[in-house]
Amino acid sequence: MLRQIHSLFGLLAALLVSALAITGAILSVEPVMDRAAERPVVVGQVNVAAFAAAMKLRFPEIDKIVREPSGAIIVNHFNNERAAANRIDPATMAVIGPHAPSPALRFITNLHRSFLLGNVGRAAAGLGAVAMLILSLSGAMLLAVRLGGWSALLKPIRGTSVQRWHGELGRLAMLVLLLSALTGSYMSLTTFGILPDPASETAATMAGSGQPRLPVGELAALQGVDLADLRELTFPYAADLTDVYTLTTAEGVTQIDAATGMSLAVTPHGLGKRISETMYQLHTGQGLWPLAVLLGLAALCVPVFSVTGAVIWWQRQRGKVRLPHNATADVADTIVLVGSEGNSTWGFARTLHAALTAAGHKVHAAPMNAMAAHYPGAERLLILVATYGDGAAPASASTFLAHLDRASSRLPFAVLGFGDRSFPKFCGFADQVDAALKARHWPILLDVQRIDRQSVQDFARWGEALSVVLGHPLRLEHISERPATTAFTLVARADYGADVQAPTSILTFRPPARRGFWQVRTPRFDAGDLVGILPPGSTQPRFYSLASSSRDQVLEICVRKQPGGVCSSFLHGLAPGDTMDAFIRPNPGFRPSKGSPPLILIGAGAGIGPLMGFIRQNGTGRPLHLYWGGRDPKSDFLYADELSSHLASSHLTRLATAFSRIPGGGYVQDRLANDAAEIRSLIQNGAQILVCGGREMASGVTAALDLILAPTGPAIAALKAEGRYVEDVY
């Protein structure tokens, strides 16, 4: 529901909110320019009486003296019965020049307040402020859910480049936009009388004694007021001796007898007045130029939010899956409920739906939030559910657990979770769903299974297990939609490992040259991102971690040839000049943290690829320790010469290798155990650990590190939660 609210308001109010933001950003420049142009009033330098007396000598017919929030002092007066205004230097009391507000700024101000449409426009602007308030609150809540709670708001944001831009700018501008939206909403409500407007309240008018007036410089009530405290001093009408001076300060309004110089009445500003003035100041930045800068920068983010939000919404709509031959819920024998955030899980559901339908089943598929209380003909319930962020429910499953309490029948169930092992709570929501169904005593059809990064192999294996309980064959051959690819040309290769039955190649590709202005550029990528490669005749990509970044102007990967591996066999068969079709998938979760804490890089075999990229980028000499395992240094010591060079240049602090096929050799986890004291010291000093390689190696590394850290802590689970233990395993 929260996401639907955010999307709905964003789509409906995009133009309105963007217009308010752009005009607001322009207006935010004014307080900064005013502050830069004005000399501040020094406390204790001069009192209001002395200043007014000096002005009276220069301008005989003064209407009022105003000190603006920026500090500018304006004298409004009449010159030959024509109204005029001059800016005054408070230090020298010299005339700076005429005061003429910019027509352009006046136009932008009216556009911002009412779109030049009177009360209708003011109402639209008010609705825009309310929409911005709702968008800011819902966006903040969605980001917190995605990252794993309010305490995790500073965690790296994963996703596509559009999603990261939307989230990163939202995180930066969140508080300022909330402030702007809240104050704008308040001002709009007071404009239309929905809330009382204290600014419209005026003090009761008092009459003076009517005696001859004292010179303004001799008025005692003004002599005790510092010029720095002045807001406005209104002079009495010359032809009416009973008219009075009206002095406004931050404390209130004082009426002064022009004949005696004594205060006739003091009307303090009430709480409402102070709140109203504070709201105006916080909304405009008047008198608070640093805030004005922040307001302007945050406002400039809003049009970007509108564009990126619309793109995200469109991608989500385009990715929606429509299922042919979807049986109605009352006749189906198999119910498939889907929990998805970006619709990719629906693609797997379509494959399952088609396979079951082809096998003669009547299948009804629906979002998890649409779960019915009763399915009269159903024999089983299959749940395919992704996990959003750090263990949260995806958008289409946000109310599923509440629906369970209303269910009147209990079907045999199987839960299949989709997630990414780089997240600490891998398939966390799938586990919650499985536990909730078991707690309500629903029969178990299959134990919960998990799919890592949309693995079609894992999905096919789950289909084999499902076919056993169904009693008939069920082949789940999921084919993802073929992504747009780029042809990369192989320019160099280095081959290792043939002598130890582990053929591994370092392959270097060149992206295509850009021939025209409108040709699409190769996406930017960093070491640790993934390249999806489609071998000829295949629509299923195989992903490899990148050892290079786009700044290197080459794409480099490290590939071990797998027995029967279609993609690895294809890559190992390439010769310089041959091409491959590939695309880039960002992998922002597998990155060294920012700053200078030590890094511990751990890998084996071809897993050294992205770790080499991190070493190459370590131009600051950050402490960097590499633990890497191979089979024989004479056959598969990948990057041996380059690693020696990095040790000499301080890109690499320490290299610890382990070779399993030599006398006295071992595995990378053995080297970690040998260096237990140093590993503990590095972690206690804030080190981050990045692991890349096979799942078996990664499990051994986790076990070894748990033993190393057991005496003092922290546990690996705690390091993962802090983003200090990150894996890219396969």
Q: Report residue 209's pLDDT band, with 50, 70 and 90 as the boundaries.
A: confident
- CB-based contacts of 323: which residues, under 8 Å, 6+ apart? 349, 350, 353, 365
> Among 153-167, 463-477, 510-524, which is the least confidently predicted range?
510-524
User: For 486-585, which CATH class?
Assistant: mainly beta
Instruction: Give 268-324 as a 3 state SS string.
Output: ECCHHHHHHHHHHHHHHCCCCHHHHHHHHHHHHHHHHHHHHHHHHHHHHHHCCCCCC
What is the per-residue pLDDT for 202? 61
Domain ranges of the chain: 2-33+105-199+279-313, 47-104+202-272, 334-470, 486-585, 599-729
Rounded to a whole number, what is the distance in angstroms from the first to the last CA of the chain? 35
Q: Is the pLDDT of residue 660 over 80?
A: yes
> Among 161-165, 203-207, 602-606, which is the least confidently predicted range?
203-207
Q: Is the pLDDT of residue 39 over 70?
A: no
What is the per-residue pLDDT for 389? 63
How much is the average pLDDT of 362-376? 91
Cα–Cα distance measured from residue 3 to residue 134, given in angstroms and rounded to the nearest whole number: 12
Q: Report residue 199's pLDDT band, with 50, 70 and 90 as the boundaries.
A: low
What is the per-residue pLDDT for 518? 43
How much is the average pLDDT of 582-587? 84
What is the per-residue pLDDT for 2? 57
How much is the average pLDDT of 663-679? 93
Per CATH, 334-470 and 486-585 having the same topology is answered no
What is the per-residue pLDDT for 547? 97
3-state SS, residue 633: coil
What is the per-residue pLDDT for 517? 42
Q: What is the pLDDT of residues 426-462, one digit of tens each?
A: 898 999 999 999 999 999 999 999 988 778 888 988 9
Write the CATH number of the domain with boundaries 599-729. 3.40.50.80
Helix (H) or strand (E) holding 492: strand 486-496
Instruction: Give 428-449 as a 3 state SS string.
Output: HHHHHHHHHHHHCCCCECCCCE
Higher pLDDT, 478 or 88: 88
Residue positions counted in the chain = 730
User: For 334-470, which CATH class?
Assistant: alpha beta
| Strand 688-693, strand 654-659: pairing | unpaired
What is the per-residue pLDDT for 390? 60
Q: Report residue 312's pLDDT band, with 50, 70 and 90 as the boundaries.
A: confident
Q: What is the pLDDT of residues 104-124, one digit of tens each?
A: 888 888 888 888 888 888 888
Mean of pLDDT over the chain: 87
Q: Report residue 125's pLDDT band, with 50, 70 and 90 as the boundaries.
A: confident
**What are the backbone angles phi and psi of residue 188, rounded to the nearest 5°?**
-65, -40
Helix (H) or strand (E) holding 76: strand 73-79
> Among 235-239, 317-321, 497-501, 691-695, which is the least confidently predicted range?
317-321
CA distances from 612 to 34, 144, 488, 591, 616 (A): 53, 33, 21, 12, 6
What is the per-residue pLDDT for 520? 47
Helix (H) or strand (E) holding 86: strand 82-88
Q: Percent of the chain at pLDDT above 90?
A: 46
Cα–Cα distance measured from residue 537 to residue 535, given in angstroms and rounded to the nearest whole number: 6
Cα–Cα distance measured from residue 334 to residue 326, given in angstroms and rounded to the nearest whole number: 11
Neighbours of 76 (CB within 10 A): 18
Cα–Cα distance measured from residue 162 to residue 674, given in angstroms and rounded to the nearest whole number: 45
Q: What is the pLDDT of residues 509-556, one digit of tens each?
A: 998 875 544 444 567 899 999 898 988 887 777 889 999 999 899 999
